[in-house]
Amino acid sequence: MVVVMAPDATDEDIARVVEKVEGVGGEAFVSKGVVRTIIGLVGDIDSFHHLNLRSMSGVADVHRISDPYKLVSRQHHPERSTVWVGGVPFGPETFTFVAGPCAVESPAQTLEAAEMAKAAGATLLRGGAFKPRTSPYAFQGLGVRGLEILSSVREATGLPIVTEITDARDVKVVVEHADMLQVGTRNMANFGLLQAVGEAGKPVLLKRGMNSTIEEWLMAAEYIAQRGNLDVVLCERGIRTFEPATRNTLDISAVPVVQATSHLPVIVDPSHAAGRKDLVVPLSRAAIAVGADGVIVDVHPDPESALCDGPQALLGNDLRLLAQAVRQLPPAVGRVDAGTRVRTPV
């Protein structure tokens, strides 16, 4: 932590800061410049927070140097992590392609979407059984029946499943069926839910809150990690900006920013970012080029009849182009298809 003194701070002001810091067992290193003095603090950061240094006479500003998150930070774990989901890796050496319908609608629709996903090269199936809809009148998902359909489609295709959990009370039933629990953008700051999935013993896909900073997102991951679960994959899915051309603005720079500061894998959801199928392939290419550890994409056998997010679902030629991108581009940035590294889960 660094304390920046105001230009008119007196020697007494400086001495009082040093005394306070030393009073809680810290060390204070005073550096006097021509105009300003700065004081570097070494010691227990939590004890410094309680000192209220910012309100002291002569203090202009206080800066934190270390990350506010610990378990998910590279300061504490410099190597980037690999998270395994049903035998499929998410990590720095691989590129993981996740695809499936936005919502589970029926056994036939889910199976067909899963077969499309698999044929395109996906190694994990996505599909929502509990849908967090903006309107209470919109399709809310099939609930437990949807989870059962996902389980049977996993059986038929061999694809592990990632599905959203929207309520801490559903942990038990979702864990019975899912290989990975998704926390959606609307629940990123639902701290009770984060703690519950942190204790659930399954890997978590944590989407970025559409109104959240990267630091808030990593603090949300810290909530999960703090409950003993470090198997967290982050997902950039677009944030709200003033731009109406896309549903959200894909913050592509979040990928390298997160990778520089956190050891957790980070993937991109171009479907929910754009809300438009014509942008999914170009944004996926951008995600691969920027160094994302994977993508998660909506596919649907009949987007026009989809009960949720039809306009962004791929099929046909768009899906073929996506399959080509995820096959051809990751090797150019030093990655192999996660499908070539699959382990049999124990």
For ligand PEP, the binding residues (CB under 6 A) are 102, 128, 132, 164, 184-186, 207, 237, 269, 272
Find the shortest distance in angstroms from Cβ 259 to ligand PEP.
Answer: 20
Residue 202 touches which member of ligand PEP, Mn ion, none, C-beta under 5-8 Å by kind: none
Find the shortest distance in angstroms from Cβ 50 to ligand PEP.
Answer: 37
Instruction: Please say which residue, 58 or 101, places its beta carbon nearer to ligand PEP.
Output: 101
104-138 in b/e form (b: 16+ CB < 10 A) is bbeeebbbbbbbbbbebbbbbbbbbbbbbeeeeee
Instruction: Please say which residue, 39 or 197, places its beta carbon nearer to ligand PEP.
Output: 197
SS3 of 16-71: the string is HHHHHHHHCCCEEEEEECCCCEEEEEECCHHHHHCCCHHHCCCEEEEECCCCCCCC
Find the shortest distance in angstroms from Cβ 226 to ligand PEP.
Answer: 22
128: left (phi over 0), alpha (psi -120 to 50) or beta: beta
Instruction: Please say which residue, 102 or 234, places its beta carbon nearer to Mn ion.
Output: 102
Beta strands in the chain (DSSP E): 2-5, 27-32, 37-42, 59-63, 83-85, 88-90, 94-100, 124-126, 161-164, 180-183, 204-207, 232-236, 266-268, 294-298, 336-337
Nearest-CB residue to ligand PEP? 184
Nearest-CB residue to Mn ion? 102
Residue 285 touches which member of Mn ion, ligand PEP, none, C-beta under 5-8 Å by kind: none
Instruction: Please say which residue, 222 or 269, places its beta carbon nearer to ligand PEP.
Output: 269
Residue recorded with tokens 């500003």:
61
> Both ends of the chain: CA-CA distance in Å?
45
Residue 247 touches which member of Mn ion, ligand PEP, none, C-beta under 5-8 Å by kind: none
Site residues (CB under 5 A) for Mn ion?
102, 309
Find the shortest distance in angstroms from Cβ 336 to ligand PEP.
Answer: 26
165 alpha carbon, distance to own chain's centre: 15
Instruction: Please say which residue, 28 or 188, places its beta carbon nearer to Mn ion.
Output: 188
SS3 110: helix
284-320 in b/e form (b: 16+ CB < 10 A) is bbbbbebbbbbbbbbbbbebeebbbbbebbbbeebbe
Find the shortest distance in angstroms from Cβ 178 to Mn ion.
Answer: 17
Find the shortest distance in angstroms from Cβ 27 to ligand PEP.
Answer: 45
Find the shortest distance in angstroms from Cβ 199 to Mn ion.
Answer: 26
Instruction: Please say which residue, 209 or 339, places its beta carbon nearer to ligand PEP.
Output: 209
Residue 185 touches which member of ligand PEP, Mn ion, none, C-beta under 5-8 Å by kind: ligand PEP
Instruction: Please say which residue, 9 or 102, places its beta carbon nearer to ligand PEP.
Output: 102
Residue 59 touches which member of Mn ion, ligand PEP, none, C-beta under 5-8 Å by kind: none
